[in-house]
Amino acid sequence: MAPASGGVCSGFCPQSRRGKTPSENPAQDVERHKEGWLPIVGAVCLGVTLGGQTSFISIGVVNNMSVPAILGTSIIDVATKNIATQEHHVELINGTKVPIKRRGAPRGRPDASSEVCACPEGTSAQLKPARKTWVQPGTIAHVPVRSTYTGHGLVKGRPALHHKHGIQVAQGPAIMMANEPVTIQVMHLGVTPLRLTTDTTIGYIDAHEGPTYEISESELEELATPPKGVKEPPLPELDVSSVPTEWSGAVKALLQKHASLWEGKLGLIQGVEHRIQLKPGAVPVRQHPWKAGPMARNRENAEVERMRSMEVIEPASGGWASPVVMVPKPDGSVRFCMDYRKLSLMTIKDAYPIPRMEECIVSLGDARVFSTLNCNAGYWKTPVAEQYKHLTAFTCHTGAWQRVRLPFGLCNAPATFQRAMDMILAGLKWQICLVYLDDVIGFSRSPEEHLQHLEEIVTLLGKAGVTLKASKCHFL
């Protein structure tokens, strides 16, 4: 009933049994009621059914809510007779009793908003950070915490924080003094950085009768240090200079997880092959190599050997042959291209569309965070169908060769590669990323959202056999 990326909160009752008159602007009513904290973007009238009783209310639409809907006082006024918190049910006007289901904490636990979470004897208390602390995903942090408890106790985590954010508190004994900081270990098992404020309850301490030993922060750091001789795999050499400090840990964790994409391997795109459909009456193209001096021949030989070692080409024997063109690149290297102009004249053109730049810019919308990915030798990841390899044959001063992988210069090469990338990122293109041949741009409205989007993008690329060029990838 509401957008997948948003939620709804109730406003007024247009058809209430108590005869309320609807406002002309329900969105403003809800916004005033919520003191402007929820930016209302629209309104819709929906029927809400509780215990078999349906009431129609006007509901404001809000972007990026963490819950599907919030039902406020309007539905209480219309449908409820009594809210019995001790009996854990809501009694409706028609007499039906709807049970109250609590999330995050078992029944009987005091409200998380209270200053101290204590059992009746006062032998338990909340643990809250002594200062604002950022915890990066995939790391163990030493967090100073305070509580109102004094004495020996056992530290334990808060289940709701673990289930929602992946925060796990190390359990164990501790010696506490009321309002004095004590350092505990916190592990972040989630995927996005989390800020722990001084109002966040991250765990509890219960009374403990028995010997305890307090470990200093330096001892904790020593215990967390990896043993000598154990080295973590190196991070890919990627440009993360623009990543804010608070997000660098999360980005590095993501890169480490998908490090194989930047190892420099060629890769092979699965499920796509390049095909060449010739026009009726087409005859084989047979051309001799272009003249080349000693330096140009050396470059040809080096490129041929490189392509042979990468299994991009193989020896050819047939009636087709196109010459080679060496095109200089901005970095001083050369691009080994084949002059397929005559072959292209006899080829039926593939009408698959290449994205237009103005459409790409419009689709960015209100995105504020961007990352760019570049495929490593993108065309060379795409295989040429076996029955069409002989058409790609080329001649140079080392002999005759034919392509095993998609070359530059074929008229339908861009369409084939664009189609392959669109298939790989189907469902994400135009939503969280743009694809223009071998370039992929991920875009999001916030860093938290962007990390999730990057995870989706690189996961699909990796599963499809696509590898990336580290020097041309930039993040956040």
Summarised one tens digit per residue, pLDDT across range 386-423 is: 999 999 999 988 889 999 999 888 899 999 988 888 88
Q: Report pLDDT for 221.
A: 67
Q: Are 52 and 96 in contact (CB under 8 A)?
A: yes
Residue 439 phi, psi (nearest 5): -105, 135
The whole-angstrom distance between residue 289's C-alpha and the CA centroid of its chain comes to: 48
Q: Which of 17-21, 186-190, 462-466 has the lowest mean pLDDT?
A: 17-21
Residues 442, 445, 451, 455: is their CA dihedral positive or negative?
A: negative
Q: Are 205 and 155 in contact (CB under 8 A)?
A: yes
Q: Give yes or no for residue 29 having a pLDDT over 60.
A: no
Give the pLDDT mean for 457-474: 84
Pick 171 or 320 by higher pLDDT: 320
pLDDT interval class at 349 (50, 70, 90): very high
Residue where the block lists tokens 């006024």: 77
pLDDT interval class at 3 (50, 70, 90): very low
- Kind of pairing, strands 394-396 and 322-328? parallel
Across 9-23, 67-81, 183-197, 239-253, the highest mean pLDDT is recorded for 183-197
Q: Give yes or no for residue 474 having a pLDDT over 80.
A: no
Above pLDDT 90, what percent of the chain?
9
Round to whole Å and give the CA distance between 71 and 313. Answer: 65
Pick 62 or 349 by higher pLDDT: 349
Q: Give yes or no for residue 33 having a pLDDT over 60.
A: no
Above pLDDT 70, what percent of the chain?
78
pLDDT interval class at 429 (50, 70, 90): confident
How far is residue 409 from each of residues 120, 250, 323, 419, measured CA to CA in Å?
79, 40, 11, 17
Bridge partners, residue 203, by sequence: 127, 157
Round to whole Å and give the CA distance between 112 and 201. Answer: 7
How far is residue 432 from each of residues 166, 387, 448, measured CA to CA in Å?
25, 37, 13
Which CB contacts under 8 angstroms, 24+ apart, belong to 304-313?
Answer: 304/336, 304/396, 304/398, 304/401, 307/336, 307/401, 310/266, 310/380, 311/404, 312/266, 312/380, 312/403, 312/404, 312/405, 313/401, 313/402, 313/403, 313/404
Give the pLDDT mean for 248-259: 80
Across 49-53, 168-172, 246-250, 339-343, the highest mean pLDDT is recorded for 339-343
Task: Specify the length of the chain in residues.
Answer: 476
Round to whole Å and give the CA distance between 361 and 338. Answer: 33
pLDDT interval class at 346 (50, 70, 90): very high
Q: Report pLDDT for 234.
A: 58
Task: List pLDDT tens digits, range 124-135.
Answer: 788 999 988 888
As given in the structure block, the two tokens for residue 4 are 């997948």
Round to whole Å and give the CA distance between 21 and 47. Answer: 17
Give the pLDDT mean for 190-216: 78
Q: Which of 49, 63, 94 is nearest to 445 (CA)?
A: 63
Q: What is the pTM of this model?
A: 0.50
The mean of the pLDDT values for the chain is 77
Q: Give yes or no for residue 436 having a pLDDT over 70.
A: yes
pLDDT interval class at 121 (50, 70, 90): very low
